């Protein structure tokens, strides 16, 4: 049997149904109640910054970047990062995040935020957000609120209420 290669590509609107099924398997129906999901409602992801991974034709991972605003300043919300269970702990998720961060940096974006596991994302250049700096429109565990400056000093211009889109 020949080995199938892993391929990365930009997410397109046509990929959304398969990505939603992957997210459903990974996170279940309770995911929609989470604040980060609520911020994404009705907002198109930035297709030029969102990546997926396939082995052959099978979707095995996806990462989305969505435009948000923090205190009126544009920023990006990373996630959900979703990897098929059989392919976790192989660097696939990290590669998807790095591709999204590099694309965002190349496009001139300054700041990316997410709600996630610090041990994973700190390895990828994220830091814990200063307590009280960002006010999300719902409950968020402050210990899981992370940011990554794509441009030096970007955090300084981002403080306050986090809203959908820009």
Instruction: List the beta strands (DSSP E) in the chain.
Output: 6-10, 51-55, 58-70, 73-83, 111-115, 127-128, 134-135, 145-149, 160-164
pLDDT in tens, 107-124: 999 999 999 889 989 999
Under CATH, which number does the domain 6-164 receive? 3.40.630.30
Q: Do 112 and 138 touch, CB atoms closer than 8 A?
A: no
Q: Where are the alpha helices (DSSP H) in the chain?
A: 16-27, 35-40, 92-106, 118-122
pLDDT in tens, 43-96: 889 999 999 999 888 888 999 999 999 999 999 999 888 888 777 777 788 999
Q: How far apart are CA 105 and CA 112, in angstroms?
A: 10
pLDDT at 88: 77
Q: How far apart are CA 89 and CA 21, in angstroms?
A: 20
Which among 87, 88, 6, 95 has a CA at the least distance from the CA of 51? Answer: 95
Q: Would you state the structure tokens that stand for residue 99, as one six-digit string?
A: 């591709």
In this model, does residue 30 exceed pLDDT 60? no
Q: Which residue has the higher pLDDT, 80 or 154?
A: 154
Instruction: Give the burial class of 146: count Cβ atoms within 10 A of its Cβ; 0-12 exposed, 13-18 middle, 19 or more buried.
Output: buried
pLDDT at 57: 86
């Amino acid at each position: 049997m020949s080995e199938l290669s892993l391929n990365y590509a930009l997410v397109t609107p046509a990929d959304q149904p398969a990505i939603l099924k992957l997210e459903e398997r990974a996170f279940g129906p309770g995911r929609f109640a989470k604040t980060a999901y609520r911020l994404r409602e009705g907002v198109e992801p930035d297709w030029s910054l969102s990546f997926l991974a396939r082995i052959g034709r099978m979707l095995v991972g996806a990462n989305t970047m969505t435009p948000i605003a923090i205190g009126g300043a544009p920023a990006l919300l990373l996630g959900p990062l979703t990897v098929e269970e059989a392919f976790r702990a192989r660097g696939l998720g990290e590669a998807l995040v790095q591709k999204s961060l590099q694309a965002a940096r190349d496009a001139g974006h300054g700041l990316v935020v997410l709600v996630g596991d610090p041990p994973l994302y700190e390895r990828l250049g994220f830091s814990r957000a200063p307590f009280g700096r960002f006010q999300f429109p719902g409950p968020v565990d402050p210990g899981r609120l992370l940011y990554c400056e794509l441009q030096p000093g970007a955090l300084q211009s981002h403080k306050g209420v986090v809203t959908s889109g820009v």
